[in-house]
A and B are shown apart, each in its own frame.
Chain A
Amino acid sequence: MERIVQGTPPAEVVAKLQKANGYYITNTARDLSQSDYKNRILLHTDLLAADARERAGYFSLEITGGASVHVDILRKQVDPFLKLEILREKMPHTMFQTLCRGVNLFGYRPYPQNIIRFTVKEFAKYVDVWRTFDFMNYVPNMQAVFEEVGKAGKINEPCICFSTGPEHTDEYYLKKVREILDVTGEEIILCIKNHGGLGTPQRIGQLVNTIRQKHPDLPIHYHGHNTDGNDIGRIVAAVLNGATIVDASDHSFTGFYGPPPILTIVQTLKDLGHTAIGIDEEAVIESSDVIRDERQYYADFESQIKGFQPTVQIHKLPGGAMGSSLEQAVKGGFLDRMPDILHKELPRVQKELGNYWSVTPGSQILWTTAVSNVLGGERYGNPSGDLRNLLLGKYGPFPFYEPDAWIYEKVLGEDWKTVLAEQGGVEDIGDMDIEKEKATLAERIGEDPTDQQLTLYLQHPNDAVEFFKFQAKFGQVHVLPPSIFFRKGGFDPSETLIFTDYTGKEHIVEVGPSSVSESGETSVYINVDHYQRVYNFEPDVPEGAVAKASAMSKEEIMVLAKAGDMRAPFSGNICDVCVEEGQQVTKGDKLAVMEAMKMQTPISCEMTGIVTSVFVKVGGSLQPGDKILRIDKDE
C-alpha cells in the first residue's frame, strides 16, 4: 500500500482508508508544540524538518489550528497563512491538517456564522484535513464548518471528544457518531479525540471496536496524549481494534503532555503484524535528527514540572492546557497549591459541572473555577463570565446532567431561575457586517487589507492589528532561528549572526556596543552587512512603578472598587469597555471586560454613580492594581 498524497479527492481518500491493510500516521507537530512547548515551536524549526517530514510519508501533518493560529500572530509573529504557504512549497505531497473548535474556530468563544464560513473558506485553501470538535459534543456547533469544508472539497474529520466516567459509555458515543453521520454523510473520517490521554488501552480498544462493529466502513483516526505515559498502549489497542490512522510526533521533541513518539509506535505495531502504510522509517529518524539541536532554545517553554502525570486520569486536563496551567501557577505563585487544585478541586468541579469534556474552552472554565475556588476561599464565589455562559447554556446543553441548583444560584444570583429563563439557551449570534469590519481594519492599518488579513482580524482583532504593525516594522521574522528569536540576556559583544531573509538574501549582523544618553535613551549599534546602523530605544518605565502597582493586594483592590476607583484585579487585557465618561451606572452594571488566559471576566460596578474617567482602551494590557476607570458616587 502506498501513502495518500495531497490533492487526492476526499471520496478517494476515504476509499483508500477503507481498503487499508495497515494503518496511517499523522505527525501532530502542532499539538506537540502546543502541549509541550506552549505553542512556541517556530516555523524556522518546522522548515528544518520539512524535507525529512515530507519523505517520511505521513497521512497528514497537523501544523495549524487549535491555539496555534493565535500564538502565531501573538508570540511567534508569523502569518499563519504565510506559514502554510511556505511549508506547502517544501512539502508538496503531505496533506496539512488543522484542529478547529467548531463555533470557536481558532479562538476561545463563539463566532457568528458568516465569520465561521469566511474563515474556513480562507484556511481551506491550504488545509486538507479538518478535524473539528465541540467541547460539549454538541453537533450543531460544528455544522457550519462541516459545510464549508465540504464546499471547499476538503476532508471532514469530525470528532467525538472522549472522557471517562459512568456516563461515558459506548452507547453514548455511538449515539454521537450517528448524530454526526446524519449531518455529514458517510464520506468522512471519524476522530476519537482523547485530548487528555484518558482511559486505559482496554477502554480505547473497546470503544474503537464498538464503533467498527456498527460502522465498518467508517475510518477511525485515534488522537491521544501521552500525559500518563501510556498513549502507546492506547494507540496499539486502537489499531488492533481497527483504527486506521493514529497521531504521534517526532521523538527528539516529545515531552510529557503531547503525543508519543512515532518511531516507537511503528516498531511496536510492526512486531504485532501491523504495517505503517507509506512510512519511511529512515526519514522519520532524520526528521528528529535535524531538529534535535534546536530543542535547547525552547527550554524556557517546556514544562515547569518534569515527568509524566498519571494523575491526569483524576484531573483530566488536556495535554494542550497542561503547559499553560503550570505556567500560570508559576507566574501566579501558586505552584505549591497545584496538588490541591489538580487532584481534589478539579475532579470535584468537573463532577459538579456535569462531567463534560475538559477541552477548550470547557477546560479553561473548569481550571479557572477550580483555581478561583481554591485560592479565593469561597467556592464559586468569583465566577468568570464564561462559567456564567456555560450555566446559561450558551455553549450548548449539558450532555448528561445539569449542575445543582446551588451552583446556579452562586453564579447567576438569587433570581437564577428567572435569569436562566430569560437569557438561557444556545446563543444565536447575529452575523457581523464583514465589509464594515474590513473598513475598520483598513483604517487601523492604513491600507486595504487582504482577505487573509481580514480573516486574522475577525478572529483576534487587536492582536491581529498589533501583528500587522509588527510585520511592517520588523519584516518577515520567521527567518530568524529560535537561538535569536528567543535569546535571553542579549547577544555577546561582536557576536555574529547570519540568516537568510525571505527573499533568499543572506545577511550578516554583528551586534556592537550600546550607549545610554542623558535622557535615558539607549542606542544600540549594529553592523548590518558590514554597515553600521543605530537603533534607538526610549527609556523603560521605571521598574518601581510596575512593582508598586502589582504590590496592591486583592483586598486593597476591592476596597478601592467600593469607593469607585476600579482597578484591575489580575493581570490581563481589556477586551471591552462598556461605559463612557459621564454615563450613569448602578451597582452590578458591567463596566468593562478583562481577559486573561483565554477567560473573560466582567468588571462590575459596586455602587451607583457617574463614570468620571476611563483610563483604559480596548486591547490595553493591565497589571493588578492598574486603573481601569473612576466612578463618583451619587450623593
Chain B
Amino acid sequence: MKTKILVANRGEIAIRLIRAIQELKYHAVAVYESPDKDSRHIRIADEAIWLGKGPRCDYLDISKIIKAAKKTGAIAIHPGYGFLAENPDFAKACEDEGLIFIGPPSEVISNLGNKVIARKIMAEAGIPMVPGTDNLPPGEEGVAAALAFAAEFKYPIMLKATCGGGGRGIRLINSDQQMREEIPVARAEAQAAFNDDRVYLEKVVVEPKHVEVQIMADSDGKTVHLGTRDCSIQRRNQKLIEIAPSMIGDQGLLDTICETAVKAARAANYFNAGTVEFLIDKDFNYYFMEINTRVQVEHTVTEMITGIDIVRTQIKLAMGKKLSFEQKDIQMRGHAIEMRINAEDPKADFMPEGGKTVTVYRSPGGYGVRLDGFVYQGYTIPQVYDSLLVKMTVHGYTWNETVDRLRRCLQNFVITGPKTTIPFYLNIAKDADFISGNFDTSYLDKHPELFNYDDNANEASKLSNLIAEIHHRGYNPYAA
C-alpha cells in the first residue's frame, strides 16, 4: 500500500501540498467541508474525505481530521497555513496519535505562539527586539505598568493580545487616556477571540519595512536560511505583495539579519521550515517580531530565487531526512515578486467578492511566471472562506526585468465574474515608487491614486455582451 499524507487545508495551498506529496510518490488525501465540494483540490488529490457541513468549523476540528487520517491510513499530516497550522494542540494530537505532523514539534509552536514567551527566548539569545513589556498584570496594576512603559518609550505604542496573530488582536495607542480606555476593551476582545485575555505592549516602529527570513532546520539542529523576503505592501496588516530578496541595498545588513534569524531559530530549538519576521525602521535598525511556525503563503518567491522546493523539503525533514545542503550551497538568483490575486474590490476597501462565479479565467504563461491557484472557469467562489484565488509569482534576472514581466503577466491575466485585485496590481506595477523599490508598510496609504482604474477595461468582452444579448433576444433591445 502506498504511503499516504493527509492535507489538512483547502484552496491553493492544498493543491501546492498535494503536488509536492505526489511528486514524492506519496498518495495525497484531501479533506473538505461541504461549501468546498466543487473545489479543485478534491479532484487533484488521490482521495478525499468529507469532514462535515462546515463552514470553517470542520477544517478546525482536530478530532475529525485525526479520524480522517486514521481512516485512510495516512501516516503524516501537512497543515498548510491558517486553520490548524499553528495550533500546538493539533501538533500535540498528531504526536499523541503517532501521526507525523509536518512542522515543528508542538512545544516549539506553543512557545513561539505565545508572544511573551517568544520575546523572552529571543531576549535571552540577544536578538534585537522592539521595546515591549511582558504580559500586563491584571486590573489597575496593568494599566499603571502600561503608563510607565509609555512614559519611558513614548507613543505610539501597540497594545497586543498575547495569543493574537496574523494581524488580529492589535490596536494602536496614542495617549494615556486611550491606553486606560483600550486595555479593558482589548482584554475583553482577546478573551472572546482567543479565549485568553492576556495583553502586552510594544513600541511602534513608524512606517517600517517588513522583512522576513525563511529558515529550515533538520532534526540534528542544522539550521540554514534561504534569504529574505520583503512583505511591506500590506493592507490592514494583511500582506498583498511579497518580494525576494529584500530591496534594501545594504547586503551586509541583510546578511546580519539572516544570521540573526538562524540564531533565533536555534534559540527556539526550531525544526522544519519557519519564518523569522523583522521590522526595519528608517534608520535601518532591525527588530525581531515573531517566528511563524508554518509554511508561508509567500514561500514561492523564496523557492523561485533559491531553487529549493520548500514544501518538498518540509515533507522530507518530517519523514526523518536530513538537510542535504549547507548554507554555502544556497545561492540567490535574481528577483521574484508574488501577488496575491484576491476576489476583492480594492475600491470598496477590499470588500470580498465571494458568491460570484468565475465566467472567464485566462492566465498568463511564458518565461518566468508561476501560478499557484485553485479556481477555474465556471467555479463559484464560496462566501465562507478567504478571497485568495491565485498567487502569481514572477521571476527575473534583474529587478527591472522582473517588474516588466510582472506588468506583462498582469495585462495577460483575465478573470471576469468577481472583481479582483488585478487592475489594482497593474497600477502598482506601473508606479514609479514601486519600480524604484521605494515602499514600506505605509505604501498604500501614500498612493491613493493606485485605486483609479477602469473595472471593465476589456472592450471585447463588453461588445460581446451586447452580441450575446442580441443573440439571446433575437433582436437588439437597445436599438428597437
Quick one: CB contact mask for A465-484 with B, threshold 8 Å, 1 for yes? 00000101111110110001
Partner of A532, one of B377, B459, B467: B377
Q: Are A509 and B471 in contact (CB under 8 A)?
A: no
Q: Are A511 and B467 in contact (CB under 8 A)?
A: yes
Q: Are B466 and A480 in contact (CB under 8 A)?
A: yes
In this complex, the member of A470, A476, A535 whose beta carbon has the largest number of chain B beta carbons within 10 angstroms is A535
Residues of B within 8 A of A533 (CB): 359-360, 416, 461, 464
Q: Are A503 and B459 in contact (CB under 8 A)?
A: yes
Quick one: CB contact mask for B459-480 with A, threshold 8 Å, 1 for yes? 1111111111111101110111
Give the residue name and chain of the A residue nearest to B456 (CB).
Answer: A472
- Shortest distance in angstroms between A531's beta carbon and chain B's nearest beta carbon? 5
> Once the chains are docked, how many angstroms separate the CA of A499 from the CA of B460?
9
Partner of A473, one of B414, B416, B462, B470: B462
Q: Are A528 and B461 in contact (CB under 8 A)?
A: yes
Cβ of B447 within 8 Å of any chain A Cβ, yes or no, is no
Residues of B within 8 A of A484 (CB): 467, 470
Q: Are A511 and B465 in contact (CB under 8 A)?
A: no
A75-B478, A533-B359, A533-B416 in contact; A490/B463 too (CB < 8 A)? no
- Shortest distance in angstroms between B169's beta carbon and chain A's nearest beta carbon? 37
Cβ of B43 within 8 Å of any chain A Cβ, yes or no, is no
Cβ of A166 within 8 Å of any chain B Cβ, yes or no, is no
Q: Are B478 and A479 in contact (CB under 8 A)?
A: no
A484-B470, A511-B467, A511-B471 in contact; A77/B459 too (CB < 8 A)? no
Q: Are A490 and B471 in contact (CB under 8 A)?
A: yes
Cβ of A306 within 8 Å of any chain B Cβ, yes or no, is no
> Once the chains are docked, how many angstroms separate the CA of A488 from the CA of B474?
5
Q: Are B359 and A534 in contact (CB under 8 A)?
A: yes
Quick one: CB contact mask for B360-388 with A, threshold 8 Å, 1 for yes? 10100000000000000110000000000
Q: Are B466 and A474 in contact (CB under 8 A)?
A: yes
Residues of A within 8 A of B474 (CB): 488-490
Q: Are A474 and B462 in contact (CB under 8 A)?
A: yes
> Once the chains are docked, how many angstroms separate the CA of A259 from the CA of B466?
33
Partner of B459, one of A75, A489, A497, A501: A501
Residues of B within 8 A of A524 (CB): 468, 471-472
Cβ of A485 within 8 Å of any chain B Cβ, yes or no, is yes
Q: Are B463 and A535 in contact (CB under 8 A)?
A: no
> Once the chains are docked, how many angstroms separate the CA of A499 from the CA of B467?
12
> Once the chains are docked, how many angstroms separate the CA of A486 from the CA of B480?
8
Partner of B468, one of A488, A505, A526: A526
Give the residue name and chain of the A residue nearest to B455 (CB).
Answer: A472
> Once the chains are docked, how many angstroms separate the CA of A497 from the CA of B359?
21
Q: Are A537 and B460 in contact (CB under 8 A)?
A: no
Residues of A within 8 A of B472 (CB): 490, 514, 522, 524, 535, 537
- Shortest distance in angstroms between A75's beta carbon and chain B's nearest beta carbon? 5
Give the residue name and chain of the A residue nearest to B360 (CB).
Answer: A533
> Once the chains are docked, how many angstroms separate the CA of A228 from the CA of B466?
40
Residues of B within 8 A of A497 (CB): 467
> Once the chains are docked, how many angstroms separate the CA of A470 from the CA of B470?
14
Cβ of A507 within 8 Å of any chain B Cβ, yes or no, is yes
Residues of B within 8 A of A489 (CB): 474-475
- Shortest distance in angstroms between B78's beta carbon and chain A's nearest beta carbon? 35
Residues of A within 8 A of B461 (CB): 528, 533
- Shortest distance in angstroms between B68's beta carbon and chain A's nearest beta carbon? 34
Give the residue name and chain of the B residue nearest to A531 (CB).
Answer: B362
Cβ of A502 within 8 Å of any chain B Cβ, yes or no, is yes
Residues of A within 8 A of B476 (CB): 485-487
> Once the chains are docked, how many angstroms separate the CA of A531 from the CA of B478?
26
Within 8 A of A (CB), among B443-459: 456, 459
Q: Are A507 and B460 in contact (CB under 8 A)?
A: yes
Within 8 A of A (CB), among B117-159: none
Residues of A within 8 A of B464 (CB): 507, 509, 526, 528, 533, 535
Q: Are B362 and A477 in contact (CB under 8 A)?
A: no
Q: Are B465 and A473 in contact (CB under 8 A)?
A: yes
> Once the chains are docked, how many angstroms separate the CA of A531 from the CA of B415?
12
Residues of A within 8 A of B377 (CB): 532
Residues of B within 8 A of A76 (CB): 479
- Shortest distance in angstroms between B318's beta carbon and chain A's nearest beta carbon? 41
Within 8 A of B (CB), among A14-52: 40
Quick one: CB contact mask for A491-509 with B, threshold 8 Å, 1 for yes? 1000001010111010101
> Once the chains are docked, how many angstroms separate the CA of A503 from the CA of B471?
25
Q: Are B463 and A491 in contact (CB under 8 A)?
A: no
Residues of A within 8 A of B471 (CB): 487, 490-491, 511, 514, 524, 526
- Shortest distance in angstroms between A598's beta carbon and chain B's nearest beta carbon? 17
Give the residue name and chain of the B residue nearest to A476 (CB).
Answer: B459
Shortest 6 CB-CB distances between A and B: which pairs? A475-B462, A535-B468, A524-B468, A501-B459, A474-B466, A507-B460
Q: Name 6 A/B residue pairs within 8 A (Cβ), A-sorted.
A: A474-B478, A475-B459, A490-B471, A509-B464, A528-B461, A532-B377
Q: A477-B466, A491-B470, A528-B460 are in contact. List 20 more A-B contacts (CB 8 A).
A: A76-B479, A77-B479, A473-B456, A474-B462, A475-B463, A476-B459, A480-B467, A487-B470, A487-B476, A488-B474, A497-B467, A511-B467, A511-B471, A514-B472, A524-B468, A531-B414, A533-B416, A533-B464, A534-B359, A534-B360
